Every structure is written in structure tokens, then in C-alpha cells.
């Protein structure tokens, strides 16, 4: 037996009872029994909850507002609140009862009475409602005061002339110390007087301190209000922020108590320079108060916090909101769309905020069209040299989809990537040219438009591209694409002078049927050809001008008259213009500017309806600019007015005055948060961690600790290296670092040069003087053998005897390895003046490493250039940065003056652009060494047949192909020059025919990579092609090979 069977509870009104008739309920409401009236009201409320319209019973309900039964009165007010706005005249009959109920001992009755009064939309009772609001603003119950804040907005919407007296009530509510009231008070402030910033001054610190305790709806209003306030009271924390995020220089930030340095992800969001001490204390207070709300489950709160950090925080601190937004994005479609709009706007200016979450923006099969477009826009905004290869591979997958509009949007995204990164322009051009054979005419047309813009940037540069586009004129009918092709033909008519007149002839035949934009370009083409070859196209130009003379479009007619006067000038009316016609038509064109789709939304404040709609909505207030100088902060030191004093801490369910039980008031200068940071409360930064689902071992951390970890920033420096084994502590900073750095691990700058430039920096020519200084008494063979004998003989210490066997195996394997077919030059790694007398030369060893195929073996030559023995030479493995792993050589016990010892290290590099940084220790101190990877040495040979080579090269075409032309002096030297730069297997080497083919795999991810060189023996021109899944890897390898052949 359940409760409904014995009459307990009210659940049966909602599920068990059939829909009652209104006549039956009407009889119950008109009954003299309070029990019958209560029964009737319960049925009415149940019907309202089911969506039934019961407004016809309003007169019967409103007369029952005069009753002594508290439960019945509550139900009546629930009904009246729902229908008072639609039945204002009937509700007006009981206005006196509502006024009396404002003095009811029960706080819920008082609040409901005010809600009903303010819901009666009649201007004649506005004075009465205004007096009721004034009375309820000073009520002892926070719930009633909350309803008063809501009523203020309703009164203002009915009579805007009462703004001044309503502002006074708002000012009283802003001084409230109850979190239940503050959210509604701030909402009323924003709706009525958002320009009154002076009202916020005395309450600013209180609002910050109570932010985390306010309800979620109030937190959103508070965050928007405090963001606007901060933009008027504090100075810009990023005064030197670059407009172009790709040109922004990164600097190491200073550690602070509220930093996220202990996060597992050590990416580029940790590389921005900001100093918390430079911010105003009140500015810092707002950021500290808002940061815990990033863990909120309410998407609106997270977005409001993210907007506040984006607009107010130093650029380094603003990076921390990226993770919270990405977490919130994985929700319903509506929430996902709004959050993606915010991310797109942020990424357009600060792409580094979301570059670590690349895969979260990959398009899923179930994504809606609007979500797909936003994700593609974000991917183009966060594209960098480090992640562009993966993005282009993803785009290459998208262009093979069946959705034509999606493929067209992806095509434009490829073009925007080429505009942002010059390094991939040729790669994008290859991919777009491949799309010209697509079955969809829409996709081909979009590709043509983007190719035209890339040609203006100087990409491609091949005459065949213009010819291929011209051939499409017979197939494409979309006006924008046809106009782009005609423009390209006219702009590069000198390169295809043999075909341009015939193209113009065909266009003249179809001139009458063309679109207006195509007609304009046809006239331009005719003008350019007439200036280049007037004899051949003069008649056709005259024909096209005659057709344009009677065209329906007035722009075409005007253009025809202008060109007739400029080019033909039969009457001699414009001699000067006629003489300078070539300069007018062949003037250099500026490169087009391709902006992201979300750039235009940046003019609206994020989190507003205007930002979502991308146009100004009613009531939108733009975000103020930073002041040049901050106003006097003393305005916030004024003690807030206590309007309520003794009942500031009254709870929701109490009507009694509870003096002294509320939260203590903060002194004007107190910037602590509630709960005391010093006591390690919930709001302290020590406990301010992200939720478990995004902890340091979550899916994001795992995702970005793999082969794409190089997409983030450089890792922070490690702690000091351990002391050498000789028992004597090695002093930190006692020596210099390679590349001119001082000792210790601090002071490293981020790697920004192209990887292919490393070979120049460490070339033999750069240190040629150092090699000439080698003493004659140090023949390499003798010294190495003597040192090898001393190493194999063991030593007195236990450590030496323990490590001798592994050292002997390592060195013997290196000495007994077969010599390479190509001579491997040695390169200086550490100068002796920076290494405490120890000089290190190195060379990459192309034999397979004993530690695995992903490791690169490096031979080291340790030379003692000092006049004293150097002992305990070893590598501190724990100090490794920039690489995944290093297998150091065993400790060298003693190296005599003038002696040379050979050793091997094996490094597992993590990226083509990140050097392996570690500490080398010996008796003279600790020294920083930076071992830069050579891109060709990050390959391992992968022998295949010629047929397999051709198949693999064909499959890696399009955006996976990089090509270049270079002049070769001697064909016989091509093979040796290429093998000098890369560790690859020779598939074909035919100097007579000029064909060279090589195959290899990347050590970073086992991606196949094939290289071909076709040399024309007559002209000496070689065409180099590199096909690789990693686009940036292929581009850098191509640059290194091209430099080797030049």
C-alpha cells in the first residue's frame, strides 16, 4: 500500500487522478469549506504543472486570497503569480489584500504578495508597487529582499521615470551581506543603472569575497559586472600584447603562489611573462576570487570566468581557462555551440590558449553543421608550425567526405592555414590542386577561389597551375570560380601568352550569357591582352566592348566606356591616360587578407547575446577600454553602508532577527576571501585543483604526452644536477653552456628557429678555427687507444669496476662497427672554454641503436684541452629536457691532459625542433649541453622495391608532398650529397638517367618518408620531392636537402 492509497501526500494529484473537469473545481473553490477549497487549489496547481490552461478560474481563485489557512494562501499565490500578468484587471480587485499580506508574519506570504503585485502590468498601480518595494527592501528576510530586487526591474519596465528612486533601493540592496540577495541586486543594477560605476566602489571587495558563495545565476551577473568595473578602474596588464599572436614573443614567467606550475602539462601556456606583483591588489583579488569557479558544473559560470580572465588577466594567467572551457564544451549541442563561439573568439587572438587541446576540435561524424564550421575555424586559428602537419592531415580527411558544404568550408580553412603560415603554402597548393579533380563542382569552385588567393601570395609559381585553371573554364559554371580563373589568366597572361588569346576568344563567344562579375573580368582580360598583344586581340576587344556597351548592368556599361577611352582613344580625348594604360592595368596588386570567421565577433563582449548573434542586440553595452591611468584606489576604501545591520546573516527559513550570527564584515583594506586563505580553506590556492576527471593523469595529459607533445611550450628547467661521483660536490654554474649560455639550467630561451637551421649553427665552418688549434702531439688514434686501454683495465673505485663491462661493450661495438659509405663529419658540441677545459665533438652514428630503433646513436669525442687531468666525466640523466630519454655513456674516471676518449650516447628525441638539454658533470663543475637533432638523422632506412616506392609516393601525394627545384652542378655528386644529409635506404641511384630514389621511416612516429630527385642532364635542374605523412617534417627535410644540393 502506497501513500496515495491512504490519503498521505499529494503525489496522486499528478499521476493517479484523471483530468478533473473545471466545473467540479469551480464548485470546490466556491465551497464554504476550507478543506474543499484546498482540494480544488491542489487540483488546479497539478493541472498547471501538466501544462493545462486554467486561467478561466482566475476570479474564483482570487477571492480566496482572503483566508486564514496558510497552506491555502500559499497555493492561491502560486496561481496568482502564474496568471496575474495575463489577468491584471481581475487581480486588481484584491490589491488591498496583497498590501495587507506584506505585513504577514510568514516570509513566503510576504514575498509572494510582492511578486503578485509587481506582476500586475497596470501603470495605475505603479506607485503602490513602488512603495511596496521600498518597504520590502528593508525586510528582515533575505528571501523577501530578493523578491524586492526582482520587483524593481518590473517596476522600471512599466515606468522608467521612477529610475532615481529605484536606484536608491538598488543601492540599499547592494550593501546587503547575504549571498541570496546579492545576485538579484546585481541583476537589478545591470538592468537599470549599469553606468553608475560609483555605486560599486564601496562594495567591490565584498562582491569579490562573496562571489563563490552566491548562487550560479548570481555568479554570472556578478562576473559580468565585475569585469566591466575592472576595465574602468585598473590598467591593462598586457600593454605590449601583439596584435598578431604568431609574432608574440614568449618569455619565462615568474613563479607565483597562484600559478599552475605543478600541472603535468608543461606546454606553451606556461611560457608567458607576467608578474602578479605588478597588478593592483584589488585587480588580483578579483582574479583569485573567480579562479575556483572554473570548476563549476554550470556552463554559464565557466564561460563568465573565462571571459573575465580573457579580458582582465595577464596573458600568462589567461591560459588556465582553456582546459575548463574544453571540459564544458562536451555537453549538449546548445551548450557546445555557445562555448565553441567563445573559444573561437579567444583563439583568434590567443591561439596558444587552446593549442594543447587540438584533438578536441576534430570534427566528429555526429556533429551538427554549425558545430563543424566552428571547429574548423578554431583549428585554423590555433595552427602553428608544430601542429600544422596534424591539422592538414585532418583536413585532408575531411575533403573526402560526401557533404559538399563541409568540404567547401574545409577548402577555405586550408587556404587560411596557408595565409597564416608561409611554410605550408606550397603544401596547401598541392592539396588544393588535387581537389580540382573532385566530382562536386561546388568543391572545385571553392578550390579555384582559394588557389587564386594563394597565387597572389606567390605560392606555387608554376605556369602549369594557370593552365590547369584555364582548362576548367569549360566545366565550371559557378560565377565566383569563373571570375577567379579569368582574373588569374589576365594577371599571368605573359606566362601563357600562347594560350591566352584563344581563352579570350572563347570567353567573348559566351560574353552575353556570363554573370556580371565574370563580364568584368573578361573586360579586364581583354585590356591586358591588348596591351601585351594588340594585333592579335584588338578585334576581339572591340567586339567585347560593343557587347558591354548595351549590357543591362550599368557597371558593365560604365567599364566599357572607360576602357574604350583608355585603350582605343579614337578621339584623342585622353592622351595621358592612354599613354599610361599599362601602368593602370598591370599595377602590383596587394596580397589579400584572409581573416578568420570568428574575428568579427571580437567586437562584442563574450557571454552576451550580441556576441552569439554577431550583431548588436537591444540593451547591449560595449566593454570599456582600459584607462591610460588607473583611478584613485582610495574610492574602494570607503566603508560600505550597513542598511540592515543586525539581520545581515538571517537564513532563508527564518523570520527572526539573528544579530551577530552572519559572516563578519571585511575591513576596507582586507582583500582576503571568505574562509581565510591562511587557514588553507576551500578557497585557498593549495586546494584549488581541477576536478578528478581533468587531473594530471587524465585523458588530456595522456594525449599530450605522446608524439605530439612538441605542440606545447618548452618544459621548465629542472632542478640542479647531482654531484659527480668523485665525492666532491660540483659547483652549479661553474662553467658555461653550449651556444654561449652560462652554467645551470636557467636562462634557456624557447626554440623558434626552423629545424633545418640547426646544421648551420653547428657547422664545421663555424668552428673551423677551433679545429685548427688541435695540438700536434695528440694523434686521434693513439690517444683514443690509450684511453680505451685505461677504461677497459678498470679502476680502483667500486663504481669504476662496476661500470667497466658495459663501457667496454659500448665502445668496442662502436669501434668495430662497419664504416659508413658516406663520411660523417664531426661537429663541435661543447667548446673547451665553456666546458671547464673539456671539448666535445659529436657525430650521428647511423648504425641501429642497441636500445631500440627509436633511439639515435651519437658518437662523442671527449678532448681534455687543459693542462690538468679531468675526472668523473658523466651525464646527469635526471637533468634531461626536450627529449624523451637518453642513455648516457659510462662515467669516464680520468682523462689526462691532451687525451681524447670516444663514447656513445643514445637519445630518443621527441620532436624535430626540440634539442636534448642535459648537464655534463666532471671535476671542474657542471656544464649545460644542448644536443640539437639533425632532421635527416631522425630517419632510419626502410628498404623497398621500386614498385613499392612508386605506390607509396602516389599515396602520399597532395598535401603530404613537398617539392622544390634546384640547380645541380654535378649529377654524380647528387647521391652522396643527399645521403650526407639523411639516413635513408637507396631504392634507385641512376646518375646516367638522373633518377634517385630513397625510402626511410621517421624515428619519431614510424611515418614512412620517400625522397626522389630527378635531374635534367641538359639544364642541370633537379626536381626534389619529399613525400611524408608529417608535413612539417617533410618541409624541413626538403629545405635541408635543397641546401645540400645547391
Answer with the residue of higher pLDDT: 134 or 882.
134
**Per-residue pLDDT at 826 exceeds 90:** no
Res 375: pLDDT: 93
Handedness of CA 11, 13, 17, 18 (dihedral sign): negative
DSSP for 868-936 reads: S-EEEEEEEEEEEESEEEEEPPPPEEEE-TT-EEEEEEEEEES-SS--EEEEEEETTEEEEEEEPPPGG
Q: Where are the alpha helices (DSSP H) in 793-876?
A: 798-816
Lowest mean pLDDT among 346-350, 792-796, 1036-1040: 792-796
pLDDT in tens, 839-872: 999 998 888 888 888 888 999 999 999 989 999 9
pLDDT band of 277, cuts 50, 70, 90: very low
Quick: pLDDT tens for 627-639. 988 888 888 886 5
pLDDT, position 12: 55
Mean pLDDT value across residues 467-477: 82
Query: 277 or 379: whose pLDDT is higher?
Result: 379
pLDDT of amino acid 784: 37
Burial 764-788 (b: 16+ CB within 10 A, else e): eeebeebeeeeeeebeeeebbeebb
Evaluate if residue 469 carries a pLDDT over 60: yes
Q: Among 991, 879, 864, 960, which residue's Cα sits nearest to residue 926?
A: 879
Lowest mean pLDDT among 286-295, 487-496, 640-649, 907-916: 640-649
- C-beta of residue 814 within 8 angstroms of C-beta of residue 859: yes
Query: Is 90 a residue whose pLDDT tops 70?
Result: yes
**CA 511, CA 529: separation in Å to the nearest integer?**
16
pLDDT on residue 112:
87
Q: What is the mean pLDDT of residues 358-362?
A: 92
Instruction: Give the residue-averaged pLDDT of 61-66.
Output: 81
Residue 815 has pLDDT above 90, yes or no: no
User: What is the reported pLDDT for 774?
Assistant: 40
Query: In the prediction, which pLDDT does 99 show?
Result: 87
pLDDT digits (tens, 9 = 90+) for 672-706: 333 333 333 333 343 333 334 333 344 333 433 34
Residue 664 has pLDDT above 60, yes or no: no
Question: What is the enclosing helix (H) or strand (E) of 535?
Answer: helix 534-549
pLDDT class of 817 with cuts at 50, 70, 90: very low
With cut-offs at 50, 70 and 90, classify the pLDDT of residue 9. Answer: low
> pLDDT for 386-395, tens place per residue?
888 899 889 8
Band (pLDDT 50/70/90 cuts) for residue 54 is: confident
pLDDT bucket at 253, cuts 50 / 70 / 90: very low
Beta-bridge partner residues of 856: 907
pLDDT for res 268: 41
**Above pLDDT 90, what percent of the chain?**
27
Confidence category of residue 747, pLDDT binned at 50, 70, 90: very low
Q: Is residue 739 scored above 70 in pLDDT?
A: no
In 3-state terms, what secondary structure has residue 349? helix
**Residue 297's pLDDT is what?**
92
pLDDT tens for residues 476-487? Answer: 888 888 888 888
Give me the percent of the chain exceeding a pLDDT of 70: 75
Which pLDDT score is estimated for 808? Answer: 34
Give pLDDT, residue 973: 85
pLDDT value, residue 311: 93
- Rounded Cα–Cα distance for residues 974 and 934 (Å): 19
Mean pLDDT in residue range 880-888:
87
pLDDT of residue 814: 35
Helix and strand tally (H, E) in the chain?
41, 15
Mean pLDDT across the stretch 750-763? Answer: 38
Instruction: Specify which of 295-299, 401-405, 501-505, 988-992 reaches the highest per-range mean pLDDT.
Output: 295-299
Residues 6+ apart with CB under 8 A from 593: 419
Residue 204's pLDDT band, with cuts at 50, 70 and 90, is: very high
User: What phi and psi values does residue 548 have, to the nearest 5 degrees?
Assistant: -70, -25
Question: From the CB of residue 713, how many other CB atoms can be counted at a distance below 10 Å?
Answer: 23
Read off the pLDDT of residues 95-123 as tens digits, 9 standing for 90 and up.
Answer: 888 888 898 888 988 998 898 888 888 88
For 317, the 3-state DSSP assignment is helix
Q: With CA atoms as reference, report the closest residue to 663 among 141, 219, 210.
A: 210
What pLDDT is stored for residue 1009 in this prediction? 92
Rounded to the nearest integer, the mean pLDDT of the chain is 76
Can you list the pairs that 151-154 forms with residues at least 24 positions away whose Cβ atoms lie under 8 Å? Answer: 151/114, 151/115, 151/117, 151/118, 152/188, 152/192, 153/187, 153/188, 153/191, 153/192, 154/118, 154/119, 154/129
Rounded to an integer, what distance in angstroms lies between the CA atom of residue 380 and that of residue 117?
Answer: 54
Amino acid at each position: 500500500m502506497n501513500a496515495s492509497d491512504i490519503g498521505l501526500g499529494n503525489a496522486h494529484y499528478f499521476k493517479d487522478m484523471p483530468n478533473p473537469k473545471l466545473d467540479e473545481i469551480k464548485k470546490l473553490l466556491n465551497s464554504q469549506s476550507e478543506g474543499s477549497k484546498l482540494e480544488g487549489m491542489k487540483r488546479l496547481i497539478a493541472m498547471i504543472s501538466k501544462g493545462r490552461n486554467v486561467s478561466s478560474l482566475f476570479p474564483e481563485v482570487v477571492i480566496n486570497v482572503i483566508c486564514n489557512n496558510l497552506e491555502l494562501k500559499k497555493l492561491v499565490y502560486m496561481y496568482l503569480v502564474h496568471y496575474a500578468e495575463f489577468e491584471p484587471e481581475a487581480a486588481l480587485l484584491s490589491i488591498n489584500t496583497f498590501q495587507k499580506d506584506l505585513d504577514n508574519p510568514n516570509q513566503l506570504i510576504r514575498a509572494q504578495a510582492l511578486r503578485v503585485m509587481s506582476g500586475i502590468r497596470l501603470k495605475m498601480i505603479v506607485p503602490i508597487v513602488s512603495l511596496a518595494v521600498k518597504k520590502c527592501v528593508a525586510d528582515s528576510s533575505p528571501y523577501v529582499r530578493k523578491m524586492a530586487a526582482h520587483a524593481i526591474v518590473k517596476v522600471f519596465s512599466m515606468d522608467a521615470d521612477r529610475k532615481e528612486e529605484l536606484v536608491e533601493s538598488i543601492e540599499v540592496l547592494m550593501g546587503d551581506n547575504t549571498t541570496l540577495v546579492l545576485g538579484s541586486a546585481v541583476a537589478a543594477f545591470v538592468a537599470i543603472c549599469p553606468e553608475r560605476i560609483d555605486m560599486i566602489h564601496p562594495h567591490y571587495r565584498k562582491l569579490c569575497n562573496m562571489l563563490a558563495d552566491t548562487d550560479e545565476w548570481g555568479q554570472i551577473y556578478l562576473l559580468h559586472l565585475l569585469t566591466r568595473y575592472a576595465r574602468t578602474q585598473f590598467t591593462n596588464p598586457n600593454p605590449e600584447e601583439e596584435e598578431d599572436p604568431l609574432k608574440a614573443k614568449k618569455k619565462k614567467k615568474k613563479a607565483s603562489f597562484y600559478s599552475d606550475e605543478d600541472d603535468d602539462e608543461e606546454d606553451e601556456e606556461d611560457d608567458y611573462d607576467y608578474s602578479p606583483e605588478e597588478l593592483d591588489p584589488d585587480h588580483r583579488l578579483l582574479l583569485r576570487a573567480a579562479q575556483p569557479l572554473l570548476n563549476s558544473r554550470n556552463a554559464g559560470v565557466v564561460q563568465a570566468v573565462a571571459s573575465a580572465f580573457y579580458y582582465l588577466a595577464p596573458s600568462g594567467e589567461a591560459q588556465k581557462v582553456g582546459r575548463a572551457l574544453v571540459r564544458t564544451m562536451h555537453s549538449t549541442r546548445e551548450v557546445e555551440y555557445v562555448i565553441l563561439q567563445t573559444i573561437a573568439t579567444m583563439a583568434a587572438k590567443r591561439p596558444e590558449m587552446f593549442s594543447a587541446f587540438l584533438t578536441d576540435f576534430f570534427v566528429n561524424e555526429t556533429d551538427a553543421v554549425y558545430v563543424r564550421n566552428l571547429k574548423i575555424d578554431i583549428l585554423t586559428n590555433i595552427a602553428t608550425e608544430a601542429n600544422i602537419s596534424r591539422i592538414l592531415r585532418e583536413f585532408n580527411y575531411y575533403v573526402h567526405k560526401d557533404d559538399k558544404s563541409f568540404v567547401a568550408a574545409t577548402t577555405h580553412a586550408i587556404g587560411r592555414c596557408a595565409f597564416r603560415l608561409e611554410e605550408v603554402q606550397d603544401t596547401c597548393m598541392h592539396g588544393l590542386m588535387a581537389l580540382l579533380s573532385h566530382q562536386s563542382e561546388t568543391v572545385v569552385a571553392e578550390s579555384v577561389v582559394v588557389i587564386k588567393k594563394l597565387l597572389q601570395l606567390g605560392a606555387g609559381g608554376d605556369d602549369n597551375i594557370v593552365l590547369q585553371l584555364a582548362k576548367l573554364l569549360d566545366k565550371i559554371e559557378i560565377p565566383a570560380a569563373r571570375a577567379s580563373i579569368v582574373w588569374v589568366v589576365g594577371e599571368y597572361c605573359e606566362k601563357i601568352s600562347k594560350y591566352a588569346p584563344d581563352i579570350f576568344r572563347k570567353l567573348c563567344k559566351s560574353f552575353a550569357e556570363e554573370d556580371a562579375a565574370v563580364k568584368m573580368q573578361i573586360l579586364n582580360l581583354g585590356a591586358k591582352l591588348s596591351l601585351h598583344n594588340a594585333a592579335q586581340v584588338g578585334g576581339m576587344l572591340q567586339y567585347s566592348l560593343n557587347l558591354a556597351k548595351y549590357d543591362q548592368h550599368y557597371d558593365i556599361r560604365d567599364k566599357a566606356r572607360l576602357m574604350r577611352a583608355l585603350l582605343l582613344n579614337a578621339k584623342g580625348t585622353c592622351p595621358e591616360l592612354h599613354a599610361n594604360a599599362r601602368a593602370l592595368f598591370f599595377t602590383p596588386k596587394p596580397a589579400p587578407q584572409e581573416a578568420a570567421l570568428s574575428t568579427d565577433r571580437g567586437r562584442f563582449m563574450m557571454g552576451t547575446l550580441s556576441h552569439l548573434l554577431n550583431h548588436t542586440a537591444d540593451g547591449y553595452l560595449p566593454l570599456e577600454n582600459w584607462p591610460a591611468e588607473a583611478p584613485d584606489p582610495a574610492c574602494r576604501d570607503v566603508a560600505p553602508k550597513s542598511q540592515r545591520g543586525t539581520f545581515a546573516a538571517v537564513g532563508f527559513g527564518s523570520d527572526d532577527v539573528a544579530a551577530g550570527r552572519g559572516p563578519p564584515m571585511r575591513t576596507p583594506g582586507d582583500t582576503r576571501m571568505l574562509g581565510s586563505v591562511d587557514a588553507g580553506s576551500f578557497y585557498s590556492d593549495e586546494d584549488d585543483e581541477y576536478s578528478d576527471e581533468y587531473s594530471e593523469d587524465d585523458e588530456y595529459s595522456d594525449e599530450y604526452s605522446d608524439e605530439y607533445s612538441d605542440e606545447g611550450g618548452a618544459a621548465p628547467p629542472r632542478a640542479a644536477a647531482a654531484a659527480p661521483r668523485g665525492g666532491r660536490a660540483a659547483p652549479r654554474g661553474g662553467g658555461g653552456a653550449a651556444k654561449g649560455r652560462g652554467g645551470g639550467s636557467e636562462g634557456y630561451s624557447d626554440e623558434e628557429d626552423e629545424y633545418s637551421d640547426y646544421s648551420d649553427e653547428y657547422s664545421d665552418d663555424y668552428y673551423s678555427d677551433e679545429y685548427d688549434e688541435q695540438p700536434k702531439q695528440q694523434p686521434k688514434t693513439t690517444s683514443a687507444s690509450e684511453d680505451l686501454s685505461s677504461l677497459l683495465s678498470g679502476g680502483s673505485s667500486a663504481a669504476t669496476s662496476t661500470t667497466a663491462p658495459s663501457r667496454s661493450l659500448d665502445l668496442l661495438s662502436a669501434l668495430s662497427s662497419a664504416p659508413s659509405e658516406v663520411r660523417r663529419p664531426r661537429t663541435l658540441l661543447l667548446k673547451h672554454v665553456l666546458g671547464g677545459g673539456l671539448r666535445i665533438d659529436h657525430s650521428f652514428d647511423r648504425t641501429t641503436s642497441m636500445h631500440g630503433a627509436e633511439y639515435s646513436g651519437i658518437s662523442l669525442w671527449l678532448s681534455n684541452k687543459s693542462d690538468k687531468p679531468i675526472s668523473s666525466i658523466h651525464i646527469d640523466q635526471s637533468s634531461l629536457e626536450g627529449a624523451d630519454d637518453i642513455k648516457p655513456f659510462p662515467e669516464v674516471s680520468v682523462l689526462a691532459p691532451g687525451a681524447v676518449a670516444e663514447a656513445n650516447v643514445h637519445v630518443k628525441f621527441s620532436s624535430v625542433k626540440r634539442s636534448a638539454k642535459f648537464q655534463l658533470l666532471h671535476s671542474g663543475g657542471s656544464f649545460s649541453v644542448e644536443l640539437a637533432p639533425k632532421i635527416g638523422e631522425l630517419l632510419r632506412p626502410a628498404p623497398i622495391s621500386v614498385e613499392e616506392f612508386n605506390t607509396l609516393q602516389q599515396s602520399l601525394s597532395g598535401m603530404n608532398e613537398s617539392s622544390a627545384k634546384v640547380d645541380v652542378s654535378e649529377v654524380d655528386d647528387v647521391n652522396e650529397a643527399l645521403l650526407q644529409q639523411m639516413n635513408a635506404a637507396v631504392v634507385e641511384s641512376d646518375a646516367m638517367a638522373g633518377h634517385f630514389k630513397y625510402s626511410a621511416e621517421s624515428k619519431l612516429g614510424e611515418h614512412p618518408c620517400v625522397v626522389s630527385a630527378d635531374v635534367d642532364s641538359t639544364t642541370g635542374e633537379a626536381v626534389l620531392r619529399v613525400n611524408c605523412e608529417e608535413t612539417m617534417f617533410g618541409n624541413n627535410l626538403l629545405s635541408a636537402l635543397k641546401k645540400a644540393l645547391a
